[in-house]
C-alpha cells in the first residue's frame, strides 16, 4: 500500500557490479513478418494530432529533423547567392545591399535555426533518453513546447526575410543595427530571443533527464560520451543564452525608444554590446561543436571495434570546454578597442581552451590505433570530422594570437577557420550521427554505396571550398565585401565551384535516405553490432523505448569483450536469462 506521506521514501540505489557474463539465450529478433505488424513509435498513432501534440521525445526529434532540414536548405540557398556573386570581382548577380542581406540571411539561419538546434534537437532528443535507459525526457510536455517555441521564433526569421531581409550581419553590432540600418532588426531580434528560449528549455530538459532519469546501473562513469557531450552543451545553453536574450532586449529597447544604452553620444558604449553578445556567442560555437564531438565518440568506437581511449579524459574535456569556453569571448574584440592587457588575458585563455579539444583529438586517434576499422559512411564522416576539425581548431590558434590576429582579423581566413569547425566539424558530425542512427530511428538501412559516395563528395567539396579561402584571407581579402581585387578571382572561382560540389553532396542524403524509407532493407535491432544501450531495443523503438526498465552492467564501448553482442542483449529489461549475474551491491543513499 502506498503510504500517505507526500515524501515517499527513496529506494536504496543499487549499482549492478561490472559483469560481462553473456546472455545465455539471445533475445529473438522480430521476423520481417512480425516486424510489419509490430507497433512502434512511428505507427502506434498515425493521426495528425498524434504527431503534432506528441510528447514522445522520438517523434519530437523527427519534427526537429524536418524543421532544421528546411532551414538548412534556406541557409544554403542564401550562401549559394553569395558564392555565385563572388565569381567576378565586381559582383556577378547581386546589388550591394542584396549581397549584405544574403550573407546575413545565411549567417542567422545557419546559426540560430540550424547549427544550434540540429544535434540537441534531433539526436539529443531522440537518443539521450534511449542511451540512459529512460522512457522519455524528464519533462515531455516542455520538450514539445520547446519545439513549438523554436518554430514560432523561426517564423520571425522567415517573416523578416519575406519583408525585405536584414543587412547587419548575424552579429547585429550597434550602432549600425540600432541606429542606421533600416532593415528588420527588431524581427530578427525577436526571432533570436524566442529561439533562444527554446534552446534554454531543451538544455534544461536534457540536464534534468541526465540527472534524474538514468536507469539502474547507468552510473556517470557508464554514460555514453554523447550524453556527456550533450550535458556539457546543455550547461552552456542554460548559462549563455539568457545573456544573449537580455542583450537583444537592450538593443531592441534602444532601437524602439531611441535612447542608446550602446550609443556613445550619450555615454553608452557599443563595446559593451560586443562583450555581452560574445559572452553568449563564443560559448555558442561550443553549443554547436560539442554535440558533434559526442557523436564522433560513438561512431569511432563502433567502426574501429575498440573501447574509447581515455573515457574519463574525453568526458571531462567536454565539461572543460564548457567551462573555459565561457572565458574566451574577448578574442573577438582584439581590434575593437578593448584594453590591451584584457586582450592578453583573453589570448592566453584562448590557448587554454584548445587543450580539452586537443585531448579529444588525441584520444580519438588513439582509439583508432590498432582498431579493426571499416569505412562505412558514418566512419568516413567521422574521420573527415577529425581531420577538418583539427585544421579548423589549429587555425583558431592563429586567430587567438593577438599579433597574428591584427593581420587576419575580419578576413576570409576567419571565414575559412570557422567553416572548418562549423561545417567541417559540426556538419560532418551531424551527417555521421544521422547516418549512424538512421537505422535505429527508421528501422531501415540506407544505400551503402550512395552514402559513401555522398560522404566523399561532401569531403572533397568542402576541402576545395574553404582551403582557397585560407590563402585569399591570408593575402588580405576582407570578409563581407562583395568586391575584391582581380588577382583574388582565381581563389574565389575555385571556392564557388567547389561550393556547388558541396551542395550536390548535401542533396544526396535527401534522396537516398528518403528512398531507404521505402526500399531499404530492414535494419534489425543492431545493424552495426554496436554496444550502446540504444541498440538493445528494437528498431524503430517502441513508444516507451524499452519493454521494461533496462539494467546496465558495464560501460558503453565494450567492443573488446568476447561476444559483445550478447552482453548488450542482457541489458534489455525483458530478457533476464542471465539473472544469476544480477546480484548488485546495495549502497544506501
Q: DSSP states of 517-542 as a string? A: HHHPPB--S-TT---SGGGGS-SSPB
> Which residues are near other proteins by CB under 8 A?
1-11, 134-140, 142, 200, 204-205, 207-208, 211-213, 238-243, 245-247, 249-250, 253-254, 256-261, 265-269, 272, 276, 279, 544, 549
- The beta-strand segments (E) located in 23-88 are none
Report which of 202, 282, 528 is spatially closest to residue 382, judged by C-alpha positions: 528
Least distance (Å) between residue 422 CB and other proteins: 24
461 three-state secondary structure? helix
Least distance (Å) between residue 54 CB and other proteins: 13
Least distance (Å) between residue 440 CB and other proteins: 19
The three grid cell numbers given for residue 316, joined into one nine-digit string: 571531462
Smaller CB separation from other proteins, 137 or 368: 137
The three grid cell numbers given for residue 404, joined into one nine-digit string: 597574428
Least distance (Å) between residue 525 CB and other proteins: 22
Smaller CB separation from other proteins, 238 or 453: 238
Residues 6+ apart with CB under 8 A from 269: 262
Smaller CB separation from other proteins, 283 or 384: 283
Least distance (Å) between residue 193 CB and other proteins: 11
Least distance (Å) between residue 167 CB and other proteins: 22
Long-range CB contacts for residues 72-78, cutoff 8 Å, separation at least 24: 72/110, 72/114, 72/118, 72/506, 74/105, 74/109, 74/113, 74/161, 75/105, 75/106, 75/109, 75/110, 75/113, 75/114, 76/503, 76/506, 78/102, 78/103, 78/105, 78/106, 78/109
Report which of 57, 201, 213, 187 is spatially closest to residue 116, judged by C-alpha positions: 201
Grid cell 525577436 in the structure block, residue: 190
| Cα dihedral sign, 289-293-298-303 | positive
Phi, psi of 522 (to 5 degrees): -65, 135
Smaller CB separation from other proteins, 211 or 407: 211
Smaller CB separation from other proteins, 251 or 523: 251
Smaller CB separation from other proteins, 8 or 66: 8
Grid cell 520538450 in the structure block, residue: 143
Least distance (Å) between residue 63 CB and other proteins: 18
Smaller CB separation from other proteins, 452 or 582: 582
Smaller CB separation from other proteins, 268 or 503: 268
Least distance (Å) between residue 164 CB and other proteins: 22
Smaller CB separation from other proteins, 238 or 467: 238
Residues 6+ apart with CB under 8 A from 74: 105, 109, 113, 161
Smaller CB separation from other proteins, 251 or 314: 251
d(CA 331, CA 108): 21
Least distance (Å) between residue 424 CB and other proteins: 31
383: Cα within 13 Å, side-chain hemisphere: 17
Tell me the sheet residues that pair with 542: 545
Least distance (Å) between residue 41 CB and other proteins: 13
Residues 6+ apart with CB under 8 A from 225: 294, 297, 298, 308, 311, 314, 315, 318, 556
Smaller CB separation from other proteins, 256 or 406: 256
Smaller CB separation from other proteins, 1 or 372: 1
The torsion of the CA quartet 201, 206, 211, 214, rounded to 10 degrees, works out to: 140
Buried b or exposed e, range 152-187, using 16+ CB within 10 angstroms: ebbebbbebbeeebbbbbbbbbbbebbeebebbbbb
Least distance (Å) between residue 326 CB and other proteins: 11
Least distance (Å) between residue 506 CB and other proteins: 34
Amino acid at each position: 500500500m502506498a503510504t500517505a506521506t507526500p515524501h515517499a521514501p527513496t529506494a536504496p540505489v543499487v549499482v549492478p557490479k561490472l559483469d560481462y557474463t553473456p546472455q545465455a539465450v539471445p533475445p529473438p529478433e522480430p521476423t520481417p513478418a512480425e516486424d510489419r505488424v509490430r507497433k512502434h513509435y512511428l505507427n502506434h498513432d498515425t493521426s495528425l494530432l498524434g504527431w503534432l501534440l506528441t510528447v514522445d521525445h522520438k517523434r519530437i526529434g523527427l519534427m526537429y529533423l524536418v524543421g532544421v532540414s528546411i532551414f538548412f536548405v534556406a541557409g544554403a540557398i542564401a550562401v549559394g547567392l553569395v558564392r555565385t556573386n563572388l565569381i567576378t570581382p565586381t559582383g556577378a548577380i547581386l546589388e550591394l545591399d542584396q549581397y549584405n542581406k544574403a550573407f546575413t540571411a545565411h549567417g542567422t539561419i545557419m546559426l540560430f535555426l540550424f547549427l544550434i538546434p540540429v544535434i540537441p534537437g534531433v539526436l539529443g532528443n531522440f537518443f539521450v533518453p534511449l542511451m540512459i535507459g529512460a522512457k522519455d525526457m524528464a519533462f515531455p510536455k516542455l520538450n514539445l513546447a520547446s519545439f513549438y517555441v523554436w518554430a514560432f521564433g523561426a517564423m520571425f526569421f522567415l517573416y523578416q526575410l519575406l519583408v525585405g531581409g536584414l543587412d547587419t550581419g548575424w552579429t547585429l553590432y550597434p550602432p549600425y543595427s540600432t541606429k542606421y540600418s533600416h532593415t528588420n532588426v527588431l524581427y530578427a531580434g525577436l526571432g533570436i530571443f524566442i529561439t533562444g528560449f527554446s534552446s534554454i528549455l531543451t538544455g534544461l530538459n536534457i540536464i534534468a533527464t541526465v540527472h534524474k532519469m538514468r536507469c539502474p546501473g547507468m552510473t556517470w562513469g557508464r554514460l555514453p560520451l554523447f550524453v556527456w557531450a550533450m550535458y556539457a552543451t546543455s550547461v552552456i545553453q542554460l548559462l549563455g543564452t539568457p545573456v544573449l536574450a537580455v542583450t537583444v532586449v537592450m538593443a531592441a529597447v534602444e532601437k524602439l525608444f531611441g535612447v542608446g544604452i550602446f550609443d556613445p553620444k550619450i555615454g553608452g558604449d557599443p563595446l559593451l554590446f560586443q562583450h555581452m553578445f560574445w559572452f553568449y556567442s563564443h560559448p555558442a560555437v561550443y553549443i554547436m561543436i560539442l554535440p558533434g564531438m559526442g557523436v564522433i565518440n560513438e561512431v569511432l568506437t563502433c567502426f574501429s571495434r575498440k573501447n574509447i581511449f581515455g573515457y574519463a579524459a574525453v568526458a571531462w574535456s567536454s565539461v572543460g570546454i564548457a567551462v573555459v569556453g565561457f572565458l574566451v569571448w574577448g578574442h573577438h574584440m582584439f581590434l575593437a578597442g578593448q584594453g590591451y592587457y584584457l586582450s592578453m588575458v583573453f589570448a592566453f585563455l584562448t590557448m587554454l581552451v584548445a587543450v580539452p579539444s586537443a585531448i579529444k583529438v588525441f584520444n580519438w586517434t588513439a582509439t583508432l590505433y590498432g582498431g579493426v576499422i571499416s569505412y562505412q559512411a558514418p566512419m568516413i564522416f567521422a574521420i573527415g570530422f577529425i581531420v577538418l576539425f583539427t585544421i579548423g581548431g589549429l587555425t583558431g590558434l592563429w586567430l587567438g594570437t593577438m599579433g597574428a590576429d591584427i593581420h587576419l582579423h575580419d578576413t576570409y581566413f576567419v571565414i575559412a577557420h570557422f567553416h572548418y569547425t562549423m561545417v567541417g566539424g559540426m556538419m560532418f558530425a551531424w551527417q555521421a550521427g544521422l547516418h549512424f542512427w538512421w537505422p535505429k530511428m527508421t528501422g531501415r538501412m540506407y544505400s551503402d554505396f550512395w552514402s559513401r559516395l555522398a560522404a566523399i563528395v561532401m569531403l572533397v567539396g568542402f576541402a576545395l571550398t574553404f582551403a582557397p579561402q585560407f590563402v585569399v584571407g591570408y593575402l588580405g581579402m576582407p570578409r563581407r565585401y562583395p568586391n575584391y581585387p582581380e588577382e583574388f578571382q582565381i581563389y574565389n572561382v575555385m571556392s564557388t565551384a567547389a561550393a556547388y560540389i558541396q551542395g550536390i553532396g548535401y542533396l544526396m542524403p535527401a534522396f537516398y535516405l528518403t528512398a531507404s524509407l521505402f526500399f531499404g532493407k530492414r535494419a534489425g535491432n543492431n545493424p552495426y553490432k554496436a554496444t550502446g544501450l540504444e541498440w538493445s531495443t528494437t528498431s524503430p523503438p517502441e513508444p516507451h523505448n524499452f519493454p521494461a526498465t533496462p539494467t546496465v552492467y558495464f560501460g558503453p564501448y565494450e567492443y573488446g569483450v568476447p561476444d559483445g553482442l550478447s552482453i548488450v542483449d542482457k541489458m534489455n529489461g525483458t530478457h533476464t536469462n542471465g539473472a544469476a549475474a544480477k546480484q548488485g551491491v546495495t549502497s544506501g543513499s
